[in-house]
Structure 1
Amino acid sequence: MSKLVFIIKMAEYLNLVYAPNDIFRQKAAIITIIDDNIRTVADQMLTTMYTERAVGLGANMVGVLKRIAVVDLQENGIRTPYIFVNPEINWRSTDTQIFNESSLSFPGIAAEITRPKAIKMTYLDYHGISQTLEAEGLLATVIQHEVDYLDGKIFLDYLSKMKQDLLLKKMIKYLKLNPPHVHGAHCHHH
């Protein structure tokens, strides 16, 4: 397992895409070459994730249809980012766990989701080097949540249609009362 150690330069913030949006039903494209353009997108995704105080971000969530996900549980306040390019989950445990999941792209709502407790995955890192990772607990859940986005799937898909509809109505009401802040030149907190 290799954790990427680098100084996070505050790259440009990418604006979030909010549901409902068709991008969440589209599969992200496989990346054939990891170049500076891809690394820039990854840096921007990290900036966005940290600005929003999140633990993970799939590229679809910022309007990019490429197979990139960033994850950092920031345990004990320490940043240890993972950048996953072309992540593929190759094995899922039969043991499951339940976490209360939410998403920056689905603000104001959360749901208890059951997922495999442990996973094994392959991916390319920031430098294009093939890596494998075994994860369990919260890290496994966050990775599965973000990889789902890249596969055109959302966390609400694990719920009944009735529960999905109820949560989406709640989210739309939340967005009306709390319009999203768009970060830009006059924004002071990113």
Structure 2
Amino acid sequence: MPVRPIVMFPDPRLTSPAAEVTSFDPALAALADDLLDTMRDAPGIGITAPHLGVLHRLVVIELPDDPEGVRIYVNPRITWSSDDTVIHEEGSVSMPGVSEEVERPARIRLTWQDLTGAAHEAEADGLLAICLQHEIDQLDGIFWTRRLSKLRRDRLHKRYEKMRKAGSR
């Protein structure tokens, strides 16, 4: 499948909530394949359909050394999160070259559907829980930098803009 252009920050589609997927057809599977190829090319470990400008609730995750391999989540929702938290370095394929530490719940429970529409529920912790929260935020229209304090967010945005301008010369 083709590598597709990634929507870059500050495109407003990155802060728009994504619609529920209702058609579990070959086009959805093709979009998931495109997401995987685009994510690997970026490179990244997680990507959503909105990163490609498609405002549907679809997430693809591929973590290093994960025995499960590629994970695909359609219409994912977090139904519970732990009170204990972890801090982890995060970034985005839509804002390459910058990252910052983000605090999130250490464990979550979620529901989702697979590419056939079958329902699933599971708990996640570690890097998978962090990645899922990051990508589900994206589906909800919450770009990851919103999880930073205003000061840290402003500094990161300025650093990114400076990098972008330097790269366009």
TM-score, normalised with respect to structure 1: 0.84
Work out whether 1:176 is the aligned partner of 2:130: no
* SS of equivalent residue, structure 1 residue 31: coil
Contact map agreement 1:90 1:119 (CA 8 A) in 2: yes
Displacement after TM superposition at 1:32 (Å): 1.1
Matched, 1:131 2:120: yes
| Matched AA of 1:112 | E
Task: Give the structure with the larger strand fraction.
Answer: 2
Alignment of 1:36-185 (within 5 A): 36-75=26-65, 80-179=69-168
Q: How many residues align?
A: 168
Whether the 8 Å contact between 2:61 and 2:70 is mirrored in structure 1 is yes
Instruction: Render the CA deviation track for 1:138-190: whole Å, top value 9, x for unaligned.
Output: 110001001110000011111121221111111111112235xxxxxxxxxxx
User: 1:71 deviation in Å?
Assistant: 0.6
Q: How high is the TM-score relative to the length of structure 2? A: 0.94
Aligned sequence identity (%): 37
Superposed CA RMSD in Å reads: 1.4
1:24 corresponds to 2:14: yes
Separation in 1, partners of 2:52, 2:28: 14
Supply the distance in 1 between the matched residues of 2:167 and 2:70 (Cα, whole angstroms): 29
Partner SS, residue 152 of structure 1? coil
Instruction: Report if the CA contact (8 A) 2:18-2:50 is conserved.
Output: yes
Query: Is the CA contact (8 Å cut-off) linking 1:107 and 1:175 kept in structure 2?
Result: no
> Any stretches of 5+ residues in structure 2 without a counterpart?
none
Secondary structure of the structure 1 residue equivalent to 2:158: helix
Runs (4 or more) in structure 1 with deviation over 6 Å come to none
Is the CA contact (8 Å cut-off) linking 2:43 and 2:93 kept in structure 1?
A: no
Q: CA deviation at 1:79?
A: 7.3
Measure the CA separation in 2 of the matches of 1:79 and 1:137.
14
Unmatched tracts of structure 1, length 5 or more: 1-10, 180-190
* AA in 1 matched with 2:7: V
Q: Report if the CA contact (8 A) 2:88-2:101 is conserved.
A: yes
Q: Please give the alpha-carbon distance, in whole angstroms, between the structure 2 residues aligned to 1:53 and 1:158.
A: 22
Residue 15 of structure 1 and its aligned partner are, at CA, apart by: 0.8
